[in-house]
């Protein structure tokens, strides 16, 4: 006998045959399978995550720098648009009732018929403004003066600071400046 045969007793062939049959059965819960070991590069490294966060931060900063200054401009534009709408509504009111609302009734007369109208039947059903009386973009009521100091009537928003005068976003927005 050779040295290899002496190490393998004759019953080893039967054991190997049993193991092959046991491992190849489809319903065997105990079948030994080769599973790959987890790869070292399966996730992101801390450096890759930090680079991604820096890029996201730079993009966010760029958007904020470009958008935030336009918010003041948008509010001023909205105030000018509101004043034009109020001016148009006041002109329609005058055409129907032959005069502008007095200062006591104010701009509220554009959404509700004032008491004591000489011809209340001429007041438009639903008023002269759709959606109600707007506040300025800084959530303060527009100021109405009749008779006006700069025109037949004056409509004023005191801007972002809410005070007379100012520059930039704090500047007054008025009906007599087109």
User: What is d(CA 89, CA 101) in angstroms, rounded to the nearest whole number?
Assistant: 11
Domain assignment present for 98: yes
Domain assignment present for 166: yes
Domain assignment present for 121: yes
Give pLDDT, residue 28: 53
Q: What residues make up the domain containing 165?
A: 69-174
Identify the CATH number of the domain in which residue 73 sits. Answer: 3.30.700.10
pTM score, two decimals? 0.64
SS3 at position 143: strand
Reported confidence tier of residue 25, pLDDT bands at 50, 70, 90: low
- What average pLDDT score do residues 1-25 get? 59
Domain assignment present for 109: yes
Domain assignment present for 99: yes
Predicted confidence (pLDDT) per residue in 56-114, tens digit = 999 999 988 888 777 778 899 999 999 999 999 999 999 999 999 999 999 999 999 99
Give pLDDT, residue 43: 83
CB atoms within 10 A of CB 158: 21
Domain assignment present for 106: yes
- Averaged pLDDT of the chain: 85
Number of helices (H), then strands (E), belonging to the chain: the values are 3, 3
Strands 154-157 and 173-174 turn out to be antiparallel
User: pLDDT at residue 24 above 90?
Assistant: no
User: What is d(CA 138, CA 158) in angstroms, rounded to the nearest whole number?
Assistant: 9
Record the tokens describing residue 156, joined without a space: 């004023």
SS3 at position 29: coil
Q: How many domains does the chain have?
A: 1
């Amino acid at each position: 006998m050779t040295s290899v045969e002496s190490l393998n007793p004759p019953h080893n062939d039967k054991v190997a045959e049993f193991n092959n049959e046991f491992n190849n059965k489809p319903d065997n819960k105990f079948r030994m399978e080769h599973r790959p070991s987890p790869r070292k590069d399966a996730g992101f490294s801390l450096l890759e995550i930090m680079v991604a966060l820096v890029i996201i931060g730079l993009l966010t900063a760029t958007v904020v720098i470009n958008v935030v200054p336009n918010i003041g401009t948008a509010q001023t534009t909205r105030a000018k648009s509101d004043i034009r709408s109020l001016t148009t509504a006041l002109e329609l009111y005058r055409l129907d009732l032959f005069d502008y609302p007095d200062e006591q009734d104010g701009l509220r007369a554009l959404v509700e018929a004032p008491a004591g109208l000489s011809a209340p039947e001429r007041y438009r059903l639903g008023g002269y403004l759709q959606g109600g009386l707007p506040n300025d973009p800084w959530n303060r009521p527009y100021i109405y003066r009749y008779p006006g100091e700069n025109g037949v009537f004056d409509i004023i928003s005191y801007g972002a600071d809410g005070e007379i005068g100012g520059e930039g976003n704090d500047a007054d927005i008025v009906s007599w400046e087109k």
